[in-house]
Structure 1
Amino acid sequence: MSMPARPLRAVPDADEFDTRAAAAVARARSWLPSIDDRAFDCYLGHVVHKIAPTSEADPVAILGSLICAAGVHLGDGAYVRAGDDVHPLLVWPMVIGHTNTGKKGSSWSAAKRLIAEADGDFAVNNVKSGLTSGEGLAQRFALGDESDPDAAPPDLRLLAFENEWGGVMAKMKREGNSLSQILRAAWEGGDLSTLTVNARVAPKSHVGVLAHITPKEFRTKLSEADMAGGTYNRFLPLAVAWSQALPDSQGADPGMTLSLAAGLADRLDAGGRLGLLDFADDARGLWRELYLEFNTDAHQEPVASFVSRALPYCKRIAGIHAALDGTHEIGLAHLDAAAALVRYSIDSARALFLDTATPAKLLAWITEAGPDGRTRKDITKDYFGGNKPAEHITALLDQLIDADRIRRELRKPAGGKGRPTEVYIATADHDPTNHTN
């Protein structure tokens, strides 16, 4: 017996699809901070503007990926200084986006396609995945037993692309794993030698890391010890999301990709031989302002620990922009673009840890309770459903207290015995039931 034919499903017309797709993209991007367009006022930013219309990836994710790759490709032949310290042009973006709507993989696909066209050998030989142990990473740069002790491996450059950074985090937590320690040394562009039983002599390295992770996984797997250890302040957090719906896209036009890649290849080749990069006269005033801005400890934990290297990152990124423009001088435009991206990274850390959408909603809920306020238990169980870690709730409440939106009280139990109850009440200035304003 033949089965009755199923009725055809209604297919949305183009206008309906566009409306629904735009709403879906808007929801995906609702957690992101805003970005200053000046972050794209650089050579790589102009490249991103060319390829972004053909990708669903967040333009800032493509930009961060290209900056990372460019810094690795330039090698140690171009660098900046901070006091007595030499800083290689290494930038380690941590691309943070949700599983389905982050489009993290799409951002790397767009960037890698361009990199592969610009330098196929680099894409094959210098871009690797699979960080597991500190010893394994150090071995990549180790000198052979019979080598000249003053010699370095023929190619110091390595871009470690890790699209499942949560797995790397789990490996770093294993007892005896030295990956965190080696990564901290690698960010300095320095000596990865180990003094274990199987000692390795690895006097130089030039390692970039491009990490992908979801917000929930990062928050869940991160511990206070991880932040205190200093590994994660080596990363540049970038919150990302789906930028547009392109169900029929086949990527960038091959001719355009080849043209962009040829220009990038020329700039990478010239920039890698520039040596020391320093500020042009027109950039020194802005650098002094940024020196104070990024040195100010105005962030709550754990944001403060995550973004404590904002200042050197600003100089490194500006150095990459200058090198790709073929100049020893870091100009005002280079520094301005770098600062805009670093500010976005700081705001990304806030969005990750402090949940910038939640404070306003939480404040409204606390305000509804009037002078009775909401207890810590109310907030944990009733508002968050017991699904948010205690340290994150504390950070949100501290954020509202610091902004003078709420106050904290300790109330004695009705019977006078037992521990006092922690209560949060909207301040008079923000309580709509207060008519004295």
Structure 2
Amino acid sequence: MTRTHPPTGVSDVDVPVTTGAFEAKAAAAVARARAWLPAVDDAVFGCYLGDLVGQLAPTSEADPIAIYASLLAFAGVHLGQSPHVRAGDDPHPLLVWPLIIGDTATGKKGTSWSAAKRVIADADADFAAANIKGGLTSGEGLAQRFALDKDGEPPEDLRLLALEPEWGGVMAKMRREGNSLSAILRQAWEGGDLSTLTVNARIAPQSHVAILAHITPKEFKDRLSDADMAGGTYNRFLPLAVAWSNALPDTTGADPGLVCSLAADLADRLATGASLGALELAEDARGLWRDLYLEFNTGDHHAKVAQFVSRALPYTKRVAGIHAALDGTPVIGTDHLTAAAALIRYAIDTACTLFTSTINPAKLAAWIAEAGEAGRTRKDITTGFFGGNTHRDDIEAVLTQLIDAGTITRSSRRPDSGKGRSIEIYTARGQPQN
């Protein structure tokens, strides 16, 4: 079953000021914020972590997908190096790198981490204090975190959750000449050797790194070059589109008793899962795995989307492995695979939304028509309909298409101040012009 997001196009002025006006306006605002998101399959939440998020989400304004992905990244790194899956000849650690993509104002990315962190900190306060760090700047710096000491001994704890709430800044650093962070990150995703051969060589034969990154849609699209994709760093990430989910001006978050109970259960599951070794597919899950093999190995995708699809299969096993480990079993069942595959599909759909044109001209025309003779300004269209997530050239192209088809008209008027640029007004055909 899929849950589709509410349609866009409801303006504040459409809501009368009556009893329940706040709720109606808030629902309209949330709907606009979520209009650009792809549909998410409820199967994503058909697992232990999904149930946990289901208990947290009603008291948070964050997208459940963002809370879920934050806990998934944490669980994978906390479980350590012992539980793992195999994809072909390669062993894969249970490391997941979510790239949480949402607007600055309405993405609620930080809010999602706040909700997840309350459970994480209660489940393992020492880990939260010592093993969750930010500030990725160079490959050498990351390698140093895992380097052998003067006696040839590795750090006692090889686990690191790199939390990067401003991933755009990290992207900028990676593109500087001589910066080795991209190359080191590719090795870190494998859970392996981060040793460097620079002048100040570092021997770091083992690592266990998860990355939880936040960025806006526009910044990600603007900063991501073809060279970045060709390098292979970004096919290690799971791009996940998120947005405001609930308008809760008076919320104080989940009840402390609930958080304590959820954290205690999570801590027990992490301890049990960490003792597991190789995780194998259950016999009754092999048919589904073959279906997923064909699904994720075929399809004609945009070049940038194809990069994200390229690691869909091993990522499905990694996520399914985390679900199995948290259930305390070395056997990956059909339910684990189903939930994992649903998340991977959402990541692929997010990439499609970001990198391919998904503008529906008829939907935009209907939204403009709703405004009647007042019409919609270019700013209304850019921020109100598209949520600021669509490039101006793409917006201009669809507006021109509608004008050429005779569906809408374009006019202009001077600002009320009489100064500055004229304001573009778009109205449905047949409406009086301003």
TM-score class normalised by the smaller sequence: 0.7 to 0.9
Map of 2:407 onto structure 1: none
How many angstroms apart in 1 are the aligned matches of 2:315 and 2:267? 24
Q: Percent same amino acid at aligned positions? A: 70
Among 252, 255, 258, the residue aligned to 2:257: 255
Matched ranges for 1:259-274 at <5 A: 259-274=261-276
Map of 2:48 onto structure 1: 43
Map of 1:143 onto structure 2: 148
How many angstroms apart in 1 are the aligned matches of 2:361 and 2:165? 30
Q: Does the 8 A contact of 1:184 with 1:231 survive in 2?
A: yes
Return the letter of the residue paired with 2:30. V
Secondary structure of the structure 1 residue equivalent to 2:79: helix
Measured against aligned partners, the alpha-carbon deviations of 1:384-420 in whole angstroms (never above 9, x if no partner) come to: 9xx9488x89xx99xxxxxxxxxxxxxxxxxxxxxxx
Show structure 1 runs of 4+ deviating over 3 A: 11-14, 357-364, 387-390
Secondary structure of the structure 1 residue equivalent to 2:340: helix
Secondary structure of the structure 2 residue equivalent to 1:211: strand
TM-score normalised by the chain length of structure 2: 0.80
Secondary structure of the structure 2 residue equivalent to 1:238: strand
Matched ranges for 1:34-433 at <5 A: 34-147=39-152, 151-358=153-360, 388=391
- Pair 1:362–1:226, CA change in 2 (3 A): farther
Map of 1:367 onto structure 2: none
After alignment, is 313-322 or 351-360 more displaced? Answer: 351-360
Return the letter of the residue paired with 1:98. D
Secondary structure of the structure 1 residue equivalent to 2:287: helix
- Pair 1:285–1:255, CA change in 2 (3 A): same
Secondary structure of the structure 2 residue equivalent to 1:160: strand
Map of 2:426 onto structure 1: none
Q: Does the 8 A contact of 2:67 with 2:116 survive in 1?
A: yes
Return the letter of the residue paired with 2:145. R
Map of 1:423 onto structure 2: none
How many angstroms apart in 2 are the aligned matches of 1:82 and 1:292? 15
- Pair 1:196–1:14, CA change in 2 (3 A): farther
Return the letter of the residue paired with 2:266. L
Q: Does the 8 A contact of 1:307 with 1:349 survive in 2?
A: no
Measured against aligned partners, the alpha-carbon deviations of 1:209-254 in whole angstroms (never above 9, x if no partner) come to: 0000000000111111001000000000100000010000000000
Return the letter of the residue paired with 1:285. G
Measured against aligned partners, the alpha-carbon deviations of 1:286-316 in whole angstroms (never above 9, x if no partner) come to: 0000011011142112111133211111000
Q: Does the 8 A contact of 1:227 with 1:306 survive in 2?
A: no
Displacement, 1:152? 3.0
Secondary structure of the structure 2 residue equivalent to 1:168: helix
Q: Does the 8 A contact of 1:233 with 1:306 survive in 2?
A: yes
Measured against aligned partners, the alpha-carbon deviations of 1:47-100 in whole angstroms (never above 9, x if no partner) come to: 000000000000011111110000000010100011210100000000000110
Number of positions where the alignment pairs a residue of Structure 1 with one of Structure 2 = 360
Map of 2:29 onto structure 1: 24
Gaps (5+ residues) in structure 1?
1-10, 365-383, 398-437
Map of 2:376 onto structure 1: none
TM-score normalised by the chain length of structure 1: 0.79
Secondary structure of the structure 2 residue equivalent to 1:75: coil
Return the letter of the residue paired with 2:101. I
The structure that has the greater radius of gyration is 1
Return the letter of the residue paired with 2:81. D
How many angstroms apart in 2 are the aligned matches of 1:243 and 1:334? 26
Secondary structure of the structure 2 residue equivalent to 1:275: coil
How many angstroms apart in 2 are the aligned matches of 1:359 and 1:201? 56
Q: Does the 8 A contact of 2:320 with 2:336 survive in 1?
A: yes
Q: Does the 8 A contact of 1:31 with 1:357 survive in 2?
A: no
Secondary structure of the structure 2 residue equivalent to 1:212: strand
How many angstroms apart in 2 are the aligned matches of 1:187 and 1:271? 20
How many angstroms apart in 2 are the aligned matches of 1:349 and 1:324? 28
Measured against aligned partners, the alpha-carbon deviations of 1:163-198 in whole angstroms (never above 9, x if no partner) come to: 000000000011100000000000000000000000
